[in-house]
Amino acid sequence: MTVEQKAFYDANGWVKVPKVFSAEAMGSIASWVSDMAGWEEHDSKWMHHYEETEHGARLSRTENFVSYHTEISKLLMAGVLPTLVGDALGEGALPTAQESQVV
């Protein structure tokens, strides 16, 4: 994240960071999200949540999915996304191995 992007984030609580992913990567991400949207209901694993719209109920979000989709897990837990989030927060976005150990 650039100094300007960090300043914008600090002032506004959000920032657009363009061109983080290539067009090919975005195609893969869209495919993975589509895969997850098609998963059957499974409340003991992932959880789909729906909102009522003028066209009926529509999937609005899915929770607890990281452990069940390898590619999305890698995308969210390593590489550029946690780095950018850490930059915005001013600290690591994910716990270190030492912090995640249960005492």
Measure the CA–CA gap between 8 and 18, rounded to whole angstroms.
Answer: 14
Residues 29/37, Cβ–Cβ less than 8 Å: no
Question: Per residue in 12-56, pLDDT tens?
Answer: 999 999 999 999 999 999 999 999 999 998 878 999 999 999 999
| Global pTM value | 0.76
At residue 100, what are phi and psi to the nearest 5 degrees? -90, -5
Mean pLDDT estimate for the chain: 90
